[in-house]
Every structure is written in structure tokens, then in C-alpha cells.
């Protein structure tokens, strides 16, 4: 019994040492960051060593120390078996904890606090400024549109005669189609109504052209004599004018003109040959226009329906609605222009007749024909009448003709055109001038004639398609329900009845 306290003290000391060894072993296995490193810890436990011991019988380091202490305890008293057993059991538990720690997957250590922050690369789309993106989007679309227009202009210039003849046929059809409609309403068959309208219309236009040519040929001798007399008067006036023009200077100018005419005889001859070619082209265009007019008057509705089949199905409804409105605009333009031109020709012709200007009737016919070229045609025809009056009748008569022409044109621009043409075909003066200039560059006089009606039709079509797209977008949006629907219900716009397509007639 005297050895019992000593044995208990030695067992407590052994347990304390064992606890310290287990803590140090666990700290070594976890490492400085609290997580173990498999490479630093060495080989893990295997099935041959279930307690995580060393192959030699214990754990690395601490296991050897434990074996030595156990051996020393056994040598000291032989009664330390329970302590050795407890030591072995504790060593096995520590090895199990080490194995569990080593089974965790490794992780990347966090960067140190002094490392600079690395930002992610931005999206290339976000890196481009918004204005540059908008400019690029609009730029390539404008390039495509410009290329399309350029190709279209090339095609039109290649078949200029055909395009111009068909456009003139459209204008003539717009002028004659109401007559076909009236005849059909009176019970005349379509073929007979078309034939009567076609023949009578072109006979009247032919008589007008013949009358102009006849009047010019009848009065050309008289006018040439009066022009010569006017030139002599102008020469005498220059000699006595404050400009101090001498006889020698006037003769020198006349001699230069004669030499220029003699030197350019070959060019004048070639121009005459080109004039023959122009006459042939004009006759071809007239025949082609007559042919197209005849079939547009007879089968205009069938031609329109066939044209609609060429349009893609999603856009067919909008084009089908824009077509009749475009035709109504073209018809209103042609009718209004004919009425305005007739009024201008009558009033200016009466003024020329009372002022005793020669060739008053042919000049009135020229004013009627040139009125189909807005703005520019009135200026050219009025200037022609003023020059004839100035050369033949003197300065006072020329000034009076200027007053008559300006008065009639002012009445036309501020009263006749707004009242007769209306808002349906109103085009801004800048658009008129630009369209006439572009048309004359592309197709000469014929291009200048058809430019403004085409612009008016395009304006009507674009306006209708814009309104149609907005209405379609509103229909696609689900409307309100209940009491809100009655409070926010929109009033539909008034529907303007469009005119029929070419050749539709009344039945």
C-alpha cells in the first residue's frame, strides 16, 4: 500500500506527457494556417497500420517517444501495463484525427493583403462609346442604301427611254382614266370605253402639237424680220448709251460670232446628225407611251394585282393600301396641273394679244406645255414671251409683258394651286426645285416633267406606310380592360376614301 501513491503520480505524469505530445502532433499536421499539407505530413495511414502509426510500430516522432516512455515505465515497476494500454489507445485516436484532417481537399491560399487588386476586362461592346456605336450602325446602313440607289440609277440610265416612256404613260393614264370610268358608268363596255378615250385623247394632243408647229412656221418669217430690226435698234441704242460702246467694238463682236459659227461647222453638222437620232428616239418613246397607256387604261387593275404578288407577304397589306392613295395623288396632280396650266396660258395669251405681241397663240401654247415643269417651266416660258415682246415691240411692251406674267404667276402660286391641287399633292418648294434639277440631269426635259409628280407620290406613300406601321404596332399591344378601357379608348382617324388604281373604273 505504500507504493500506491507513487504509482498514481507516475501515471498522471505519463498522461500529461501524452496530452502534450498529441497537441504538438496535431499542430504539426494542421500546419501554420490550420490546414494540413499532405506532402509535409508524409505518407498517410494504411490498412496495415489502422491506428495511423509508423511502420516501425508507432507514429513519427511522438510515437517513438511514447514507446520509450512505456518501456521505461515497465522497467521501473512492471505494474504500468494499464498506462501503456491507455497510451496506445490515445495514440490511435490521435492518428485517426490526423487521417481525417489529411482526407480534406487542398485549397489555394488567399493572396496577401498588400497584393494589388486585378479588375476583370470589360466587354468590348461596352468599351466602345455609345455615340460611336450609333454612328457605325447608321453608317453601314447609309452605305447599303447609297449603293442600292447607285445601282438603281445605273439601271434606270441604261433603260432611260423605257422608264421615261412608262412614266409619261402613267401621267397620261391618270389624265384619261376618269373618262373611261364615266363611260363605263353609262353602260359602255370596257374595251369600247378604252378605245374612245385613248383615240380622242391622243388626237387632241396631236392637234395641239400640230397647231403649235403650224403657228411657228407661219410666223417665223415675220418674227425673224422683227428680230433683225430689234437687233438694229439694240445696236443704235448701244452706240448712244452711257456705256460708250463704239462701232468698232460692235463689228468686232459680230465678226467673232461669224468666225465661231464657221469654225464649228463640223460640230453643228454632227449636232444635226444627233438631232436625227433624237427624233428617232422621241418617236420611239411616243409609240411606247401610247402602247403602255392603252393597256394601263384597259387592264390597269390586273396589272396592279399582279404587281402586288411580287411584294413579300408581310408587307403586302401596307403596299396594297398605299397603292390606291398614290394613284389618287397622281390623278389629282395631273388634273390640277392641267387646269392651272390652261388658266395660265389663257390669261397670259390674252395679255400678249392685247399688247400686240406676235405669235401670241403659240406663246400661250408654250406656256401651257412648260407649266408641267413647276417653277422652272413658268420662268422659262415667261422669259420667252418677254424676249419676243422686247425684240419685236420695244422696251415698254416688254415691261408690260413682265407685269402680266408676274401677276398671273402670283395668282397661280397663291390661289390656283392651293385651291385646285389641295394638300394631297403639296410639296415644299425646295423639294420641287431639287427634284426638277435631278430629273433634268437624269432624263432631260422629260425627267423634269415627271420628277415632281413622282416626289408627290413618294411623299404620299411614305406618309401612309408610317401611319400604317404605327397603327399595326398599337394593335399588337394588349389594350386595357374594364373601366380603364372605356376611359382610354382611342378615337380612330378619319378614313379618306382612296381613288381606284389605274384602269379599275367603276365596275
pTM of the entire structure? 0.59
Distance separating alpha carbons of residues 292 and 167, to the nearest angstrom: 9
Which DSSP string do the residues of 399-427 spell out, in sequence order? HHHHHHHHHHHHHIIIIIHHHHT-GGG--
- For the ranges 48-52, 172-176, 450-454, the maximum mean pLDDT occurs at 172-176
d(CA 262, CA 274): 19
pLDDT, residue 115, reads 62
Residue 208 has a pLDDT of: 81
Answer whether residue 110 shows pLDDT above 80: no
Residue 456's pLDDT band (cuts 50, 70, 90): confident
Q: How far apart are CA 332 and CA 422, in angstroms?
A: 9
Span 458-484, average pLDDT: 77
What are the tens digits of pLDDT across the range 266-320? 554 554 445 567 778 888 888 998 999 999 999 888 898 898 888 888 888 888 8
Higher pLDDT, 390 or 407: 407
Q: What are phi and psi of 248, to 5 degrees?
A: -65, -40
Confidence of residue 139 (pLDDT cuts 50, 70, 90): very high
Is residue 372 predicted with pLDDT exceeding 60? yes
Q: How far apart are the first and last CA of the chain?
A: 139
Burial class (CB in 10 A: 0-12, 13-18, 19+), 371: buried
Q: How many alpha carbons fall within 13 Å on the CB side of residue 26? A: 15
More confident residue, 405 or 9: 405
Residue 41 near residue 29 (C-beta atoms within 8 A): yes
Q: Where are the beta strands (DSSP E) in 34-112?
A: none
Let me know how many helices (H) and strands (E) the chain has, helices first: 17, 0
pLDDT value of residue 15: 80
3-state secondary structure of 491: coil
Say whether pLDDT at 381 is over 70. Answer: yes
Local confidence band at 59 (pLDDT 50, 70, 90 cut-offs): very low
The pLDDT confidence band at residue 408, using thresholds 50, 70 and 90, is confident
With cell 468686232, the residue in question is 252
**Span 246-263, mean pLDDT?**
69
Burial class (CB in 10 A: 0-12, 13-18, 19+), 501: buried
* 252 vs 245: CA distance, rounded Å: 12
Q: Which of 339, 382, 335, 333 is nearest to 357 (CA)?
A: 382
CA 439 to chain centre: 21
Helix (H, G, I), strand (E, B) or coil at 433: helix
- Distance (Å, whole) CA 149 – CA 381: 33
Phi and psi for 388 in degrees, rounded to 5? -65, -45
Alpha carbon 457 to its chain's center: 18
Whole-number Å distance between alpha carbons of 122 and 192: 76
- Residues with Cβ within 8 Å of 75's Cβ and at least 6 positions away in sequence, in order, are none
pLDDT digits (tens, 9 = 90+) for 192-242: 999 999 999 899 888 888 887 787 777 777 767 766 776 777 777 777 777
Q: What does DSSP assign to residue 311?
A: S
Report d(CA 298, CA 37) in Å as an integer. 98
Across the range 141-158, mean pLDDT stands at 88
Q: What is the per-residue pLDDT across 312-358, written as a single tens digit (0 to 9) for each? A: 888 888 888 888 888 888 888 888 888 888 888 888 888 888 888 87
Q: Would you call 60 helix, strand, or coil by DSSP?
A: coil
At residue 484 the predicted structure's pLDDT band, cuts being 50, 70 and 90, is low
> How far is Cα 171 from Cα 425, in angstroms, rounded to an integer?
14
Amino acid at each position: 500500500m505504500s507504493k500506491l501513491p507513487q504509482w498514481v503520480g507516475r501515471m498522471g505524469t505519463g498522461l500529461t506527457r501524452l496530452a502534450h505530445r498529441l497537441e504538438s502532433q496535431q499542430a504539426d499536421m494542421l500546419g501554420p494556417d490550420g490546414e494540413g499539407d499532405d506532402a509535409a505530413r508524409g505518407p498517410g495511414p494504411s490498412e496495415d497500420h489502422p491506428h495511423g502509426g509508423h511502420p516501425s510500430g508507432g507514429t513519427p516522432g511522438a510515437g517513438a517517444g511514447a514507446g520509450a516512455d512505456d518501456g521505461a515505465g515497465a522497467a521501473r515497476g512492471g505494474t504500468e501495463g494499464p498506462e501503456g494500454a491507455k497510451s496506445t489507445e490515445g495514440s490511435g485516436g490521435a492518428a485517426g484525427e490526423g487521417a481525417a484532417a489529411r482526407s480534406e481537399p487542398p485549397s489555394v491560399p488567399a493572396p496577401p493583403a498588400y497584393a494589388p487588386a486585378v479588375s476583370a476586362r470589360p466587354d468590348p461592346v461596352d468599351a466602345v462609346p455609345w455615340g460611336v456605336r450609333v454612328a457605325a450602325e447608321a453608317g453601314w446602313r447609309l452605305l447599303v442604301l447609297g449603293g442600292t440607289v447607285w445601282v438603281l440609277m445605273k439601271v434606270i440610265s441604261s433603260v432611260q427611254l423605257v422608264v421615261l416612256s412608262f412614266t409619261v404613260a402613267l401621267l397620261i393614264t391618270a389624265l384619261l382614266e376618269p373618262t373611261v370610268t364615266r363611260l363605263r358608268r353609262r353602260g359602255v363596255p370596257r374595251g369600247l370605253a378604252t378605245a374612245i378615250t385613248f383615240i380622242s385623247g391622243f388626237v387632241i394632243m396631236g392637234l395641239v402639237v400640230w397647231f403649235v408647229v403650224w403657228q411657228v412656221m407661219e410666223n417665223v418669217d415675220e418674227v425673224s424680220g422683227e428680230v433683225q430690226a430689234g437687233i438694229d435698234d439694240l445696236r443704235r441704242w448701244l452706240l448712244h448709251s452711257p456705256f460708250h460702246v463704239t462701232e468698232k467694238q460692235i463689228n468686232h463682236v459680230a465678226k467673232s460670232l461669224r468666225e465661231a459659227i464657221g469654225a464649228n461647222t463640223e460640230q453643228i453638222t454632227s449636232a444635226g446628225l444627233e438631232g436625227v437620232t433624237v427624233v428617232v428616239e422621241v418617236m420611239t418613246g411616243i409609240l411606247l407611251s401610247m402602247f403602255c397607256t392603252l393597256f394601263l387604261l384597259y387592264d390597269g387593275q390586273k396589272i396592279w394585282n399582279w404587281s402586288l404578288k411580287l411584294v413579300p407577304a408581310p408587307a403586302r397589306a401596307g403596299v396594297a393600301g398605299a397603292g390606291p392613295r398614290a394613284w389618287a395623288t397622281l390623278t389629282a396632280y395631273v388634273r390640277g396641273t392641267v387646269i392651272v396650266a390652261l388658266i395660265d396660258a389663257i390669261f397670259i395669251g390674252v395679255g400678249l394679244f392685247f399688247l400686240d405681241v406676235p405669235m401670241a397663240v403659240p406663246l400661250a401654247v408654250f406656256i401651257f406645255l412648260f407649266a408641267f415643269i413647276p417653277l422652272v417651266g413658268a420662268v422659262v416660258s415667261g422669259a420667252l414671251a418677254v424676249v419676243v415682246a422686247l425684240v419685236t415691240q420695244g422696251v415698254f411692251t416688254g415691261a408690260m409683258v413682265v407685269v402680266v406674267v408676274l401677276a398671273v404667276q402670283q395668282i397661280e402660286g397663291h390661289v390656283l394651286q392651293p385651291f385646285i391641287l389641295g394638300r394631297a399633292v403639296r410639296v415644299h418648294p425646295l423639294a420641287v426645285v431639287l427634284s426638277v434639277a435631278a430629273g433634268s440631269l437624269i432624263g432631260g426635259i422629260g425627267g423634269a416633267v415627271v420628277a415632281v409628280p413622282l416626289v408627290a407620290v413618294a411623299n404620299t406613300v411614305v406618309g401612309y406606310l408610317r401611319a400604317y406601321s404605327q397603327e399595326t404596332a398599337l394593335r399588337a399591344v394588349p389594350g386595357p380592360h374594364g373601366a380603364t378601357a372605356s376611359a382610354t379608348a382611342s378615337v380612330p382617324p378619319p378614313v379618306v376614301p382612296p381613288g381606284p388604281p389605274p384602269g379599275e373604273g367603276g365596275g
